[in-house]
Amino acid sequence: MSADPKAQHKLPFDLRPTSLKGVFSFVPPPRGTDLTKASQRTLFKHGIFMRPPDPDKQPKLFALWTRFLDIWTLDNFLEPTFGIPEAVPHNLKGGLRQTDGRYVGRGGWSGVVVVGSWVGAMGIWQVPTVTAPTTPVGPSGVWQSSSWVGLDGASGLIPGTTTTDVLQAGISQNYVSGTGQIAYYPWYEWVVADLSVVSEFPYVYPIQFTSIPVSAGDEISVVVQYVKQKGDEIGDPIPPAGPYQFGGVMLMNMTKNKGHSLYLAPPTGASFLGDSAEWIMECPDGLEGDSLPKFSSVTFHTAGACNVGDAIPGGEIGIELQKADQVVFEDAEGVTETNVSADVGTVTITYNVG
């Protein structure tokens, strides 16, 4: 597929090309537009992937939705700028073993994986504070961590999954050994098994949002969703059946009132299968001997996955995350560095060492 969606699909609205091939942003709403009264097509045109929740039946979600609209104004709009950090792709690696109702492994992930047939996932969390741990630093010289929300990528390591590609977005929190330097930055990526396609699709590696500032304690919201052409319309915030044509990513720093909503052309190897959704704290280089920094507890709330016909995060199975699979991270020394708990619409990951 061409990296330019207009090459094969007639769009009912314009997209803004960005500085990165295959990545497009949305046109901000004109000043004075009342998005609370806008049609779903108009909302989607301006990068609002969520449909309006019912204010009577879903008051908390409606309050969150109106907060998105307050942020998503022309006055707050900024052109997305990107940097490519020196980071490995965020996918589940290696093997897992099951014990005490959870999975343990050095594959990097720690959190909840809900198996199903998903079209979108979302979550909101506070960026954790990281400090030097007592565990030894790995070959990278950096205690690495990333908190994120994603679709797909359980790689067959969890029963019911097969896909190795992952559409995801989140925050990196890294502590540099020796200097004590701490780096916080937002990123997105669409990992596929064959990373050689990076020349055409650079976002198979993590792409940093250099235009969104992030600090410890900031409240971050992420929505990832598969979208499609339906006649002359692209997608539908109440997800229709596939086939899907694009990946949608919305990342917002709700503390600093800044965010972006992007269309990604699918990299070669993208499956759109949606057989898992994830809320994860990750040590990206865990298999290489790295360990996590010490981090304050991470709680994803308003967390859920949607399937065909659901509103984000609707669908009972998509939000009853206490019934989903839990994964904890074990470092190269055999130390289980994390604990995980979940409930309806929430996932909490805590540091377990020292």
Question: pLDDT digit of tens for each residue in the chain (354 aa)?
Answer: 233 434 344 444 567 889 998 898 877 788 788 888 888 777 777 777 666 778 888 787 788 888 878 777 767 777 899 998 778 899 899 899 998 889 999 999 999 999 998 988 999 999 999 999 999 999 989 999 999 999 999 999 999 999 999 999 999 999 999 899 999 999 999 999 999 999 999 999 999 999 999 999 999 999 998 886 433 233 344 555 667 888 989 899 999 988 888 989 899 999 999 999 999 999 999 889 999 999 999 999 989 888 876 655 555 567 889 999 999 999 999 999 999 999 999 999 999 996
Q: Each residue of 271-295: pLDDT tens digit?
A: 999 999 999 999 999 889 999 999 9
pLDDT at 66: 83
Q: Please give the Cα distance from 212 to 167 (Å, whole number).
A: 19
Omega before 30 cis (within 30°)?
no
Element containing residue 344 per DSSP (H, E): none
pLDDT at 242: 67
pLDDT at 211: 94
Q: Please give the Cα distance from 237 to 59 (Å, whole number).
A: 18
Q: Please give the Cα distance from 109 to 132 (Å, whole number).
A: 20
pLDDT at 317: 60
Q: Please give the Cα distance from 264 to 190 (Å, whole number).
A: 8
CATH class of 82-351: mainly beta
pLDDT at 231: 35
Q: Please give the Cα distance from 13 to 19 (Å, whole number).
A: 20
pLDDT at 46: 77
Q: Each residue of 235-246: pLDDT tens digit?
A: 344 555 667 888
Tokens of 148: 């994120």
Q: Please give the Cα distance from 50 to 105 (Å, whole number).
A: 34
Task: Quickly count: other Cβ atoms within 10 Å of residue 326's Cβ.
Answer: 22
Q: Please give the Cα distance from 333 to 137 (Å, whole number).
A: 11
Cβ atoms 149, 121 nearer than 8 A? yes
Q: Please give the Cα distance from 319 to 297 (Å, whole number).
A: 20
Spans of all domains in the chain:
82-351
Q: Please give the Cα distance from 8 to 226 (Å, whole number).
A: 17
Q: Cα torsion for 47, 71, 64, 241, to the nearest 10°?
A: 0
Element containing residue 317 per DSSP (H, E): helix 316-319
- Give me the sign of the Cα torsion angle 155, 159, 162, 163: negative
pLDDT at 237: 44
Q: Please give the Cα distance from 38 to 73 (Å, whole number).
A: 13
* Burial of 232 from C-beta contacts in 10 A (0-12 / 13-18 / 19+): exposed
Cβ atoms 258, 80 nearer than 8 A? no
Cβ atoms 259, 250 nearer than 8 A? yes
What single letter denotes the amino acid at residue 299? T
Q: Please give the Cα distance from 87 to 233 (Å, whole number).
A: 36
Q: How far is CA 237 from the centre of its chain?
A: 17
pLDDT at 151: 96
* Residue for token pair 């915030």: 237
